[in-house]
Chains A and B, each alone.
Chain A
Amino acid sequence: MLMKTVMTTLLFTLATTAGAALRIGEPAPGFTGIDTRGNSHALSDYRGKPVILEWTNHDCPYVRKHYNSGNMQQQQRAATDQGAVWLSIISSAPGKQGHVTPAQADTLTVERNAAPSAVILDENGEIGRLYGAKTTPHMYIIDADGKLAYMGGIDSIASSNPADIEKAIQYVPAALARVMNGEPVASSVTRPYGCSVKY
Chain B
Amino acid sequence: MRVTTPIEKLLARLSALLFLLFAISGAVLAADSTRTGQVRLSLLAERAAAIPGTTLWLGLRFELIPHWHIYWRNPGDSGEAPRVDWQLPRGWQAGDIQWPTPQRIPVGPLVNYGFEDSVTLLVPIAVPPDQVVGVPVNISADVSWLVCREECIPQDARLQIALPVMQVGNLPILENSFDAVRAQWPVAAPGGAEYRRRDSALTLRIDASGWADAQITSLWFAANDWGRIAPSQPQAWRFDSDVLLLELPTGEAPFADGAMLDGLLVVTESGSGAGLTRGFTISAAPRDTAQVATDDTRVTLILALGLALLGGLLLNLMPCVLPVLSIKVLALVQHAGDQSARHGLVFGAGVLLSLLALAGLLIALRAGGASLGWGFQLQEPWVVIALLYLMLALGLNLSGVFHLGGGLAGVGQTFTEHRGLRGTFATGVLAVIVASPCTAPFMGTALGFALTRPPLETLLVFAALGVGFALPVTLLGIWPRWVGLLPAPGPWMERLRNALAFPLYATAAWLLWVLSQQVGPSGLASALAGSVLLAFGLWWFGQPLRRRGLRNALGGTLILASLALMVAAGHNTPTLSAAPAAETWSRERVSALQQDDRAVLVNFTAAWCITCKVNEQIALSTDAVRQALDENGVAYLRADWTRRDPAITEELRRHGRSGVPLYLLYPAGQGPPEVLPQLLTEGLVLQALSRIDKT
Residues B12-60 near A (CB distance < 8 A): none
Residues A126-161 near B (CB distance < 8 A): 129, 132, 134-135, 151-152, 158-161
Let me know if A196 and B367 touch, CB within 8 A.
no
Q: Nearest A residue to B253 by beta-carbon distance?
A: A189
**CB of A39 closer than 8 Å to a CB of B:** no
Instruction: From the candidates A15, A59, A62, A125, name the one contacting B236 in the complex (CB within 8 A).
Output: A15
How far, in whole Å, are A19 and B235 apart by their CA atoms in the complex? 11
Let me know if A1 and B367 touch, CB within 8 A.
yes
How far, in whole Å, are A8 and B245 apart by their CA atoms in the complex? 11
How far, in whole Å, are A62 and B107 apart by their CA atoms in the complex? 17
What residues on A are CB-neighbors of B495 within 8 Å? none
What residues on B are CB-neighbors of A152 within 8 Å? 252
Per the CB 8 Å criterion, the residue count for chain A at the interface is: 41
**CB of A60 closer than 8 Å to a CB of B:** yes
Given known A134-B78, A134-B110, contact A191–B234 (CB-CB < 8 A):
no
Residues A1-28 near B (CB distance < 8 A): 1-2, 5, 8, 11-12, 14-16, 18-22
What residues on A are CB-neighbors of B250 within 8 Å? 19, 21
Given known A61-B154, A198-B150, contact A158–B230 (CB-CB < 8 A):
no
Instruction: Fill in one digit per residue for B583-598: 1 if any A CB lies within 8 Å of its CB, else 0.
Output: 0000000000000000
Instruction: From the candidates A19, A62, A96, A135, name the one contacting B249 in the complex (CB within 8 A).
Output: A19
Greatest chain B CB density within 10 A among A21, A129, A196 is at A196
How far, in whole Å, are A159 and B144 apart by their CA atoms in the complex? 9
Instruction: From the candidates B79, B153, B200, name the one contacting A196 in the complex (CB within 8 A).
Output: B79
Residues B182-208 near A (CB distance < 8 A): 198-201
Let me know if B249 and A189 touch, CB within 8 A.
no
Let me know if B234 and A11 touch, CB within 8 A.
yes
Let me know if A199 and B108 touch, CB within 8 A.
yes
What residues on B are CB-neighbors of A199 within 8 Å? 108-110
Let me know if B77 and A134 touch, CB within 8 A.
yes
**CB of A50 closer than 8 Å to a CB of B:** no
Q: State which size class the interface on B falls in.
A: 35 or more
**CB of B257 closer than 8 Å to a CB of A:** no
**CB of A97 closer than 8 Å to a CB of B:** yes
Q: Nearest B residue to A18 by beta-carbon distance?
A: B233
What residues on B are CB-neighbors of A60 within 8 Å? 151-152
Instruction: From the candidates B112, B146, B238, B254, name the one contacting A8 in the complex (CB within 8 A).
Output: B238
Let me know if A191 and B148 touch, CB within 8 A.
no
What residues on B are CB-neighbors of A171 within 8 Å? none
Let me know if B234 and A18 touch, CB within 8 A.
yes
**Chain B nearest Cβ from A3, distance in angstroms:** 10
What residues on A are CB-neighbors of B200 within 8 Å? 16, 19-21
Let me know if B236 and A8 touch, CB within 8 A.
yes
Let me know if B150 and A97 touch, CB within 8 A.
yes
**CB of A194 closer than 8 Å to a CB of B:** yes
Let me know if A195 and B253 touch, CB within 8 A.
no
**Chain B nearest Cβ from A101, distance in angstroms:** 19
Given known A61-B153, A191-B253, A193-B80, contact A2–B230 (CB-CB < 8 A):
no
What residues on B are CB-neighbors of A195 within 8 Å? 78-79, 148, 151-152
How far, in whole Å, are A191 and B150 apart by their CA atoms in the complex? 20
**CB of B227 closer than 8 Å to a CB of A:** yes
Q: Nearest A residue to B231 by beta-carbon distance?
A: A134
How far, in whole Å, are A161 and B144 apart by their CA atoms in the complex? 10
How far, in whole Å, are A159 and B79 apart by their CA atoms in the complex? 10
Given known A11-B234, A15-B247, A19-B201, contact A194–B151 (CB-CB < 8 A):
no
Let me know if A2 and B454 touch, CB within 8 A.
yes
Let me know if A135 and B77 touch, CB within 8 A.
yes
Instruction: From the candidates A5, A125, A159, A189, name the one contacting B454 in the complex (CB within 8 A).
Output: A5
**Chain B nearest Cβ from A35, distance in angstroms:** 24
What residues on A are CB-neighbors of B77 within 8 Å? 134-135, 196
Instruction: From the candidates B110, B146, B150, B234, name the one contacting A160 in the complex (CB within 8 A).
Output: B146
How far, in whole Å, are A151 and B227 apart by their CA atoms in the complex? 12
Let me know if B455 and A12 touch, CB within 8 A.
no
Mark A residues whose CB is within 8 Å of B.
Answer: 1-2, 5, 8, 11-12, 14-16, 18-22, 59-62, 96-97, 125, 129, 132, 134-135, 151-152, 158-161, 189, 191-199
A-B contacts besides A11-B235, A12-B247, A19-B250, 17 pairs, CB < 8 Å: A12-B236, A14-B236, A15-B236, A16-B198, A18-B233, A19-B200, A19-B201, A59-B151, A60-B151, A61-B152, A161-B154, A192-B78, A196-B108, A196-B112, A196-B152, A197-B110, A199-B110
Can you sample 25 A-B contacts with CB below 8 Å?
A1-B367, A15-B201, A15-B233, A15-B249, A18-B249, A19-B230, A21-B230, A21-B249, A21-B250, A60-B151, A61-B153, A129-B109, A134-B77, A151-B252, A159-B154, A160-B154, A189-B253, A191-B226, A191-B227, A196-B112, A196-B152, A197-B78, A197-B108, A199-B108, A199-B110
